[in-house]
Structure 1
Amino acid sequence: MYPTTPDGRYFVVKQQLWRCSNPSLPAAKREAFVAELMSARRAVKEAKRAEDAQALKSARARVNEAKIGLGERGPVWW
């Protein structure tokens, strides 16, 4: 587990801050976003392997949407 800031909003990896997921998300919603995030990351890997620029763009958009849903990007949850 990575150390977090005292306010619990960020965790630290290699001296860089990364925003934590929204802790108030219901468990079912969090699980759905995490499942979508993992699926989208696999799609990024597959698109890179296939050298398919359009699929890569689409997969990266899916990753971004999942991270926004988790609260890791976009409007802050605090």
Structure 2
Amino acid sequence: MPLTTPDGRYIIVRGRLWRSANPDLSESERARLVNELMDARRAVKAARAAQDRKAEAAAHHAVDAAKQALGERGPVWWRDGAPDLNREMAKNTPYAEWLARVEKDDS
């Protein structure tokens, strides 16, 4: 399970922040959207294997739509005006000190 920032906005993968899904989504809505995302990712793989560029583009669009609906892309889901640090290296963000403490505690 990836490390999650204390505010729940990001998970950390190999030191990089990735925006978490909107926690305000109902469990059933989140599950539905995750299923759509997985279906779209499988469609990308199939389109690549078939070398079908049109189908691949459509599948990428479906991935993006699912990620936006989940809150992982597009407008941020939090309302306090904090900036979106998606894809930033955690060590270069306000989470740096927190992450250093967590990593020190884990060692």
Q: Do the two structures share a fold, i.e. TM-score over 0.5?
A: yes
Rounded Cα–Cα distance in structure 2 between residues aligned with 1:19 and 1:6: 13
What's the RMSD between the two structures over aligned residues?
Answer: 0.7
**Percent of aligned pairs with the same residue?**
55
After TM superposition, give the deviation of residue 73 of structure 1 in Å.
0.4
Rounded Cα–Cα distance in structure 2 between residues aligned with 1:74 and 1:13: 20
Alignment match, 1:62: 62
- List structure 1 runs of 4+ shifted beyond 6 angstroms: none
After TM superposition, give the deviation of residue 64 of structure 1 in Å.
0.2
Alignment match, 2:14: 14
Alignment match, 1:74: 74
Q: Which has the larger radius of gyration?
A: 2
Q: CA offsets, 1:5-38, max 9 Å, x none?
A: 2221001101111000001101111111111101
Residue type at the aligned position of 2:5? T
Residue type at the aligned position of 2:25? L
Rounded Cα–Cα distance in structure 1 between residues aligned with 2:3 and 2:15: 10
Alignment match, 1:30: 30
Alignment match, 1:53: 53
Rounded Cα–Cα distance in structure 2 between residues aligned with 1:59 and 1:26: 25
Aligned length: 78
Rounded Cα–Cα distance in structure 2 between residues aligned with 1:31 and 1:2: 19
TM-score of the two chains, using structure 2 as the length reference: 0.71
